[in-house]
Amino acid sequence: MQWLEKMKVSTRLVVGFSVVLALTVFIGVFSIVQMATVHQTAIDLEERWMPSVAYAAHMGKDVSHFRIAEFQHINALTPEEMVQHEKAQGDLLKDLAKNQASYEKLISSPEERALYEEFSKTWSAYLAEHEQIRTLSRQHNRDAALSLMHEDSEKYFHAADESLLKLAAMNIEGGEEAGHVGETVYVSSRFWIIGLLAVCIVFAVLIMLFI
């Protein structure tokens, strides 16, 4: 420590406090950056992953209720009942379109886009079958309508439903990964901040001992 003893007291003070100040500034900047990362993770969970899961679930509900309404239409005994079920189908399609529009804004990866487009394509094919079924149902051709319901219509329904389940699972997984990232950043940040604070304390003690 002879080199330190040869330094003027004022110089030692400047060097010592400069080191402590630099470390303090670094800790502050580092903390802000890491907090921003954790904050962004929370925003992603709140505004991206959780809403996507909810919209996928709502779409699944709309699709399932729409198929139920189709069976109800086929089994309707009066024209008034048919009108009622057709109105319900129309309302469900409107709600589905609204949920789709909201979901589309949140798509964040090519894989998710491809899976969503697969659902859209399958659902369009389902609706094409629906038009034929509704026509037969309006003609009170119940057996023919039910027969179509259990052919391609059923295949398209299950495929569309499966796509929506995969979309929900994909977003749940994304949310879990975001949560893990936030936790990792928090743990590592705490470790580094405590370590740097310890270094600051050591330098402060050294300043007191050698100045």
- Look at residue 115 in the predicted model and tell me its pLDDT: 95
pLDDT tens across 67-126, in order? 999 999 999 989 899 999 999 999 999 999 999 999 999 998 899 999 999 999 999 999
Structural contact between residues 65 and 78, judged by C-beta atoms closer than 8 angstroms: no
d(CA 188, CA 36): 14
Q: Which of 142, 126, 124 is nearest to 73 (CA)?
A: 142
Cβ partners under 8 Å of residue 207, min gap 6: 12, 13, 16, 17, 20
HSE-CB of 188 using CA atoms within 13 angstroms: 12
d(CA 94, CA 98): 6
pLDDT tens across 138-181, in order? 999 999 999 999 999 999 999 999 999 999 999 888 877 777 77
- Look at residue 47 in the predicted model and tell me its pLDDT: 63
